Amino acid sequence: MRTAWRGVVSVALLAAAGASVAESAVAQSVRAHMEACTRWVQAGAEFGTANSCDTPIVILFMTLSDQRVIEREVPPGAWFGAPSDLSGAWMFTACPVGYAPNLRFALENKEAILVSLYNCLGARPDA
């Protein structure tokens, strides 16, 4: 009798744990990146992009030489100016405000980020 009861309890605990994981996955909203809202151009002495969408976005930007991350919210129609020295390689992500790339924004993920192979999660994956 005890063995049968343990089996029932084990199955119930596994089902509860599975439901908790499923609820957590559903609660974390996934959105497509918003790179289509950006068009990087030279504007006078500055290089940057304007947010051409009607949704505020968050841009993460990094020159690969110094690996310093710049994070900025960009409202619709607003300008994001990049650092003045862009002679080397650089990368960026664009997500809706309140979302972050599903990849850690770091040099180790540059191949995926440079070809836009990321989505935006409702919470930071490294938080």
Nearest CA to 89 among 60, 61, 59, 108? 61
Neighbours of 110 (CB within 10 A): 17
User: Which of 105, 103, 99, 104 lies closest to 121, judged by CA?
Assistant: 99
pLDDT of amino acid 83: 74
Residue-wise pLDDT tens digits, 50-59: 999 999 999 9
Mean pLDDT to the nearest integer, 45-65: 93
Residue 79 corresponds to which tokens in the numbers above?
């300008």
User: Looking at residue 44, what is its pLDDT?
Assistant: 81
Question: Hey, which residues does 119 pair with through a beta bridge?
Answer: 32
Q: Is the C-alpha dihedral spanning 79, 82, 86, 90 positive or negative?
A: negative
Taken in order of first residue, the domains within the chain and their CATH numbers are 29-121 (2.60.40.20)
Q: Which one is predicted more confidently, 107 or 11?
A: 107
